[in-house]
């Protein structure tokens, strides 16, 4: 499919199809490559001011061969250009003894030097790392145009940069078409180099920073690369539901979806309850308005002072009641819905529903019908743990393949992972230079190494044996067979022992979901994890249980509702097939490719325990 992004080719510059402006990326990348064919082209550009400076203009004399017949020039202007010291000569001829009035009259005939200045703005529109310098006469630009964060749309002519800075080309603006002003005292980015943790308080503003915009472009590239990989390998994209009745991971850390909050049966209030508990705030405010009108009428009449005093007292009590109700509303806690206290048959969906933890079960139904499929969307886990690797809402790429086994899933996961690393190195070179300079100097080298190296594949049992042979390493968590490997264990294997990604497979059945295929030994299941240095587990996958009796037994072992998973068992009743798949934590992949250390900086609007921001 042909890209619709505007392009600069030679001396041709195509504006955006959906705007009359030209994206800065098309101008700057063309000129950085040495192509100056865009000089003298008239364009419209837009962006946000990163910095600015104002330079006073100096009068430029006319060249010696300037003709007096040139239009718009007076004789005095021509004389001044030919004899720059004309003013000095007048002062000498007049001398100190001459009349001040004569001297002032003669000097008034000489044009005063220009007091205008040029405003130089560095703007960026988010399409690339680089900024474009826009120069404009200060008389043509509002004073607010030079403030940091201001949005401008300018029309002008491209020319070679007048300064000796990083710029090779600049825009000589003829007019400003739009100015989006900034409340400078409230604008959070007025301070330079605000730390990333402070920027989290302004998720709606932080994309304007160079770091976050660069991370966003890398994230977008990973998104596009994912769809490209699966499209090129014959996968179909299927959207999975966000609201579901099933729990794919067997976890209790789920977000419940209900419309029953505040709709439980209310008991009759006991006698003596205060007015603040029974009267609505809207009714009280309406009463205040009426009583205020009565007071105003009584004030205009001096005939009934006692009635005025009573009305004022009544108004004061009503205002106090309104304050009590407002305070009650602000402090009123949200009551959690307990399964035993409500009838979920009356809920919107007629039963208990949750935000999905994983879409792999639903995705499996499509794999068993149309072959290789994948999905990409948000997944939710109500885990209150504060961690730089986890938030409540995380985006996940999920893959399911019919007629495939565990080895096939591991091979596909490795190929997909390497494809993403390679794609970023090739297609995000400028952003990678920036994150290497600003965030992690080793990131490019690590990505290159991960695209070319081979990944070791070891069983869970082999991993435990390796970890037990580390005498000088005191792990905080006790290492024993049958328990999940901790982040500390995984970090040692990937960072210290293998020094590259490692794939661990055949986990104990107790630490993996019920749907993973049980191995012939009856103790391990066909599951795997890809562990990456500095990040941890990025991909988890498995071959799923295709045998009806075995899956039914596993559902019983996990104490899950048979009715809730009957549709899933149907896939084994009707045309069963061996199948496998995996899930990639997309946000962790962004963390890996950018060198960031906290996942909240890799997500546009992170949602974590106790905080959603907006």
How far is residue 218 from each of residues 32, 125, 191, 201, 426, measured CA to CA in Å? Answer: 21, 16, 25, 22, 11
Task: Tell me the DSSP string of 69-108.
Answer: TSTT--HHHHHHHH-TTHHHHHHHHHTTTS-HHHHHHHHH
Q: Are 586 and 391 in contact (CB under 8 A)?
A: no
- Is the predicted pLDDT of residue 143 greater than 80, yes or no? no
pTM attached to this predicted model: 0.78
User: Which residues are registered as beta bridge partners of 122?
Assistant: 51, 133
If asked whether residues 376 and 284 sit together in one domain, one would say no
Q: What is the 3-state secondary structure (H, E, C) of 151-187?
A: EEEEEEEEEECCCCCCCCEEEEEEEEEEEECCCCCCC
If asked whether residues 405 and 481 sit together in one domain, one would say yes
If asked whether residues 580 and 435 sit together in one domain, one would say yes
- Give percent above pLDDT 70 in the chain: 80
The predicted pLDDT at position 267 comes to 46
The predicted pLDDT at position 65 comes to 52
The predicted pLDDT at position 411 comes to 98
If asked whether residues 357 and 325 sit together in one domain, one would say no
The predicted pLDDT at position 360 comes to 94
pLDDT top residue among 281 and 519: 519
Residue 572 belongs to some domain of the structure = yes
> Structurally, how many domains does the chain consist of?
3
Q: How are beta strands 236-237 and 373-380 bridged, if at all? A: parallel
Residue 74 belongs to some domain of the structure = no
If asked whether residues 186 and 283 sit together in one domain, one would say no
If asked whether residues 431 and 529 sit together in one domain, one would say yes
If asked whether residues 490 and 546 sit together in one domain, one would say yes
Residue 206 belongs to some domain of the structure = no
If asked whether residues 288 and 398 sit together in one domain, one would say no
Least trusted range by pLDDT, from 265-269, 526-530, 589-593:
265-269
- Detail the DSSP E strand segments found in 294-392: 353-355, 373-380
If asked whether residues 297 and 392 sit together in one domain, one would say no
Residue 261 belongs to some domain of the structure = no
Range of the domain at 164: 8-57+115-192
Q: What is the CATH number of the domain that holds 178?
A: 2.40.50.140
If asked whether residues 299 and 392 sit together in one domain, one would say no
Q: Are 535 and 591 in contact (CB under 8 A)?
A: yes
Residue 607 belongs to some domain of the structure = no
The predicted pLDDT at position 4 comes to 47
């Amino acid at each position: 499919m042909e890209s619709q992004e505007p392009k600069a080719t030679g001396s041709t510059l195509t504006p955006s199809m959906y705007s009359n402006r030209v994206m800065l990326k098309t101008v700057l990348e063309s000129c950085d490559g040495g192509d100056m064919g865009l000089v003298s082209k008239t364009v419209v550009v837009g962006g946000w001011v990163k910095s600015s400076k104002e330079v006073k203009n100096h009068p430029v004399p006319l060249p010696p061969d300037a003709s007096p017949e040139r239009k718009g020039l007076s004789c005095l202007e021509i004389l001044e250009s030919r004899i720059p010291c004309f003013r000095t000569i007048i002062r000498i001829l007049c001398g100190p003894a001459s009349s001040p009035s004569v001297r002032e009259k003669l000097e008034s005939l000489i044009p005063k030097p220009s007091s205008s200045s040029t405003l130089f703005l560095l703007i960026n529109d988010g399409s690339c790392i680089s900024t474009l310098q826009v120069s404009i006469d200060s008389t043509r630009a509002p004073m607010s145009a030079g403030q940091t964060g201001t949005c401008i749309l300018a029309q002008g002519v491209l020319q070679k940069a007048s300064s000796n800075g990083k710029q090779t080309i600049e825009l000589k603006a003829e007019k400003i078409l739009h100015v989006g002003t900034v409340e400078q005292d409230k604008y959070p980015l007025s301070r330079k180099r605000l730390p990333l943790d402070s920027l989290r308080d302004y998720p709606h503003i932080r994309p304007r920073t160079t770091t976050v915009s660069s991370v966003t472009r890398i994230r977008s590239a990973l998104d596009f690369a994912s769809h490209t990989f699966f499209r090129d390998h014959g996968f179909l994209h299927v959207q999975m539901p966000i609201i579901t009745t099933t729990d794919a991971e067997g976890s209790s850390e789920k977000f419940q979806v209900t419309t029953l909050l505040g709709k439980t049966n209310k008991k009759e209030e006991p006698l003596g309850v205060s007015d603040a508990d029974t009267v609505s705030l809207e009714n009280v405010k309406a009463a205040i308005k009426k009583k205020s009108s009565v007071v105003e009428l009584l004030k205009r009449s001096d005939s009934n002072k006692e009635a005025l005093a009573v009305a004022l007292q009544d108004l004061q009590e009503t205002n106090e009641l309104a304050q009590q109700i407002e305070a009650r509303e602000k402090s009123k806690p949200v009551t959690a819905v307990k399964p035993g206290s409500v009838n979920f048959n009356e809920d919107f969906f007629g039963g208990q529903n949750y935000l999905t933890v994983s879409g792999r079960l639903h995705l499996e139904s499509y794999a068993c019908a149309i072959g290789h499929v994948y999905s990409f969307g948000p997944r939710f886990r109500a885990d209150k743990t504060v961690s730089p690797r986890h938030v409540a809402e995380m985006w996940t790429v999920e893959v399911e393949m019919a007629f495939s086994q565990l080895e096939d899933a591991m091979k596909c996961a490795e190929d997909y992972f390497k494809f993403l690393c390679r794609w970023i190195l090739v297609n995000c070179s400028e952003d990678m230079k920036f994150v290497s300079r600003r965030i992690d100097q080793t990131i490019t080298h690590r990505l290159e190494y991960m695209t070319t190296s081979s990944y070791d594949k070891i069983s869970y049992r082999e991993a435990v044996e390796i970890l037990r042979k580390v005498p000088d390493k005191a792990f905080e968590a006790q290492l024993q067979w049958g328990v999940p490997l901790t982040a500390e264990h995984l970090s040692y294997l990937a960072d210290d022992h293998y020094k590259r990604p490692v794939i661990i497979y055949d986990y104990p059945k107790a630490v993996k979901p019920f749907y993973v295929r049980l191995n012939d030994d009856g103790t391990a299941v066909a599951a795997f994890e890809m562990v990456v240095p500095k990040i941890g587990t990025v991909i988890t996958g498995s071959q799923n249980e295709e045998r009806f009796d075995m899956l039914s037994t596993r559902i019983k072992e996990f104490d899950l509702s048979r009715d809730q998973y009957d549709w899933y068992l149907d896939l084994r009743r009707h045309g069963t097939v061996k199948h496998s798949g995996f899930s990639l934590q997309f946000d962790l992949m962004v963390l890996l490719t950018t060198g960031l250390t906290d996942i909240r900086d890799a997500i546009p609007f992170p949602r974590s325990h106790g905080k959603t921001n907006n």
